[in-house]
Structure 1
């Protein structure tokens, strides 16, 4: 299954604002979140009620900077026989590759997962 989603790079998405660097360019942590969001949205309709997915593993090659105002597109490819592992590519408005890698998610039952989280807070 393939899925894609567009994002607009805003000032809040920059390395300078997020604290991952000092430049007004798309921060790698924000790029990771964009990929995770695209994968999560692709999986949600396939899950039983009461289940969701959480990120468990991520690899990224961040190849090119993106300025504020840039539109980037996240393309994800999911092969069901590989579990919840995605290959992804991210391009900018000129279709230049700015990032690529893999992302893995795990299915969890929401109520059990949150119960465990809350127990660990005690």
Structure 2
């Protein structure tokens, strides 16, 4: 693994779509769902460090510790901010915060851990499962 920059940060703004709502996940409300938020945070964390890994490496999500604090309606913009806060040879820890851009309210926050794995070994593990 190359040297990772602790404190590296990435931001992304997205508009809440119908596919990301609680209703789309089997619930009753037209608001941003926790599973959609977790997926968006996970993808942004992976994007943040992908260029810092060696070609034979990748990362996989292993732990999610988040609080979903407020609803965000369909059509509203949110800003996702992730930051690499800790790294060693095998584990990366990110902080995450999501804000509703209309009122700057924090709607989601917490931590995400990703394991650094050897791509080919992981593929073999999948095939042998």
TM > 0.5 between the two? yes
Tell me the residue number matched to 1:28: 34
> Are the equivalent residues in 1 in contact too, given 2:86–2:94 (CA < 8 A)?
no
Partners of 1:70 and 1:51 lie apart in 2 by 36
Q: CA deviation at 1:17?
A: 1.0
Gaps of 5+ in 1: none
RMSD after superposition:
1.3
Runs ≥4 residues deviating over 4 A: 80-83
Partners of 1:112 and 1:86 lie apart in 2 by 24
Gaps of 5+ in 2: 1-7
Superposed counterparts of 1:1-122, under 5 Å: 1-19=8-26, 21-81=27-87, 83-93=91-101, 94-120=103-129
The count of corresponding residues between Structure 1 and Structure 2 is: 119
Q: CA deviation at 1:111?
A: 1.4
**Structure 2 length normalisation: TM-score?**
0.87
Which has a greater percent of helix? 1
